Amino acid sequence: MTYRALLRPLLFRLDPERSHELLLWALGALGPLWRRWPGPPPDPRLGITVCGIRFPHPVGLAAGFDKEGRALWAWPALGFGFVEVGTVTALPQPGNPRPRLFRLPEDDALVNRLGFNSPGAEAVARRLALLRTSPRPYPVPLAVNIGRSRAVPPEQALDDHLACFDRVQPHADFVVLNVSSPNTPGLRALQRRDQLLPLLDALARRNRELGPKPLFVKVAPDLDDADLESLAEVVVGRASGIVATNTTVSREGLRSPARREEGGVSGRPLREQATRILRTLYRLTRGTLPLVGVGGIFTARDAYERIKAGASLVEVYTGFVYEGPGLPRRIVAGLRELLDRDGFRTLADAVGVEAEGPRRSPSLPRARR
């Protein structure tokens, strides 16, 4: 209540991106203090193993919030069970001109057209290398989200992705390939079979050479069922999992004046759309591929809905902006109550229980874990 009543009104008086930068600066400056705080304790009921990685609970911070890894020690101290840094590009780039981030308070949503603003893979890799050499091990799994540099033409996207992957993969517990942002021209075309297949094959080969880490693919919420089926056929056997979903270009049902701004929408309006995509992917892959649910998660019930639809993990971003720093712990506490209510012994028992179809498909190979 303190955040909603006192701090949020102050932050919301500032330009959204300026407010975000101020928050990251403050959290990063308190790094020595955060290091003394233990990460979230292992929870025998909510803890889950995904792709060989043990997560203390399923609630993580989504990519886009801490693009550069500037406040890494703050997130476990605030209760997050894992963190996704990025999107990181191989080349440094400023992103789109400001203003490029907008609040839609009437809709509990954001519009962003940041455009992969990034200091570049080299700078982020140096920061992550320092983290990995800290006397105290980082207490939760850490993912790095990578995307195509804007200055690179589509025909050079493969080499650009490999250059970025080479720099950040050694410092990540898992890597997420972002082919679904609406704010880099031509990027979403990488979700098409003819472009995604060679890209994933090349990344899988490089991944094996470096010492394999789980590789996830982040997809858009604006795909139809035929697109999703084609995408699933490419991803299964080549990647370890899918993050569903990125922001949407749809403006259906929005009321806030800022809905007219160009960019991707995140927050509550994305909830049903993202859940539909997640449920469809779970059915298409028959539970053989770990899924991460993101988009419109504000409460434990939102997270639980995503878990029952097939997500092993969930991530928050816009919910954190609107609900404040207590959100991850509130979701974790609520998930325990919901498991009790429905009689599930562990979180893993609830994954996919409301998705239709058998657990395995005879037509799709099992994912490489």
Q: In this predicted structure, what is the pLDDT of residue 192?
A: 83
Q: Are 187 and 181 in contact (CB under 8 A)?
A: yes
Distance between CA atoms of 22 and 28, rounded to whole angstroms? 10
Q: What is the mean pLDDT of the chain?
A: 91
What number is the average pLDDT over the span 68-79? Answer: 95
Q: How confident is the model at residue 361 (pLDDT cuts 50, 70, 90)?
A: very low
Does the structure show a pLDDT above 80 at 301? yes
Q: In this predicted structure, what is the pLDDT of residue 360?
A: 41
Q: In this predicted structure, what is the pLDDT of residue 338?
A: 97
Q: In this predicted structure, what is the pLDDT of residue 97?
A: 95
Q: In this predicted structure, what is the pLDDT of residue 363?
A: 38
Q: How confident is the model at residue 183 (pLDDT cuts 50, 70, 90)?
A: low
Torsion angles phi and psi, residue 224, rounded to 5 = -90, 175
Does the structure show a pLDDT above 90 at 37? no
Q: 365 Cβ partners below 8 Å, 6+ apart?
A: 236, 237
Q: How confident is the model at residue 114 (pLDDT cuts 50, 70, 90)?
A: very high
Q: Which of 5-14, 304-313, 328-337, 358-367 has the lowest mean pLDDT?
A: 358-367
Residues with a known catalytic role: 181
In single-letter form, the type of residue at position 75 comes to W
Tokens standing for residue 355: 């998705």
What number is the average pLDDT over the span 114-133? Answer: 94
Q: How confident is the model at residue 35 (pLDDT cuts 50, 70, 90)?
A: confident
Q: In CATH, what is the architecture of 2-350?
A: Alpha-Beta Barrel (3.20)
Q: Which of 184 and 64 is assigned the larger pLDDT?
A: 64
Q: Which of 52-56, 133-137, 238-242 has the lowest mean pLDDT?
A: 133-137
Q: In this predicted structure, what is the pLDDT of residue 211?
A: 96
What number is the average pLDDT over the span 304-331? Answer: 97
Q: How confident is the model at residue 153 (pLDDT cuts 50, 70, 90)?
A: confident
Does the structure show a pLDDT above 80 at 187? no
Distance between CA atoms of 312 and 292, rounded to whole angstroms? 6
pLDDT tens digits for range 208-256:
999 999 999 999 998 889 989 999 999 999 999 999 999 999 999 999 9
Q: In this predicted structure, what is the pLDDT of residue 1?
A: 60
Does the structure show a pLDDT above 80 at 365? no
Q: Are 290 and 274 in contact (CB under 8 A)?
A: no
pTM: 0.93
What number is the average pLDDT over the span 90-97? Answer: 96
DSSP 143-155: EEEEE--TTS-GG
Q: In this predicted structure, what is the pLDDT of residue 244?
A: 94
Does the structure show a pLDDT above 60 at 107? yes
Residue the block writes with tokens 């979700």: 191
Q: How confident is the model at residue 356 (pLDDT cuts 50, 70, 90)?
A: low
What number is the average pLDDT over the span 88-92? Answer: 97
Burial 25-35 (b: 16+ CB within 10 A, else e): eebbeeeeebb
Torsion angles phi and psi, residue 85, rounded to 5 = -90, 150
Does the structure show a pLDDT above 90 at 32? no
pLDDT tens digits for range 252-295:
999 999 999 999 999 999 999 999 999 999 999 988 999 999 99
Decide: helix, strand or coil at residue 140: coil
Distance between CA atoms of 247 and 296, rounded to whole angstroms? 10
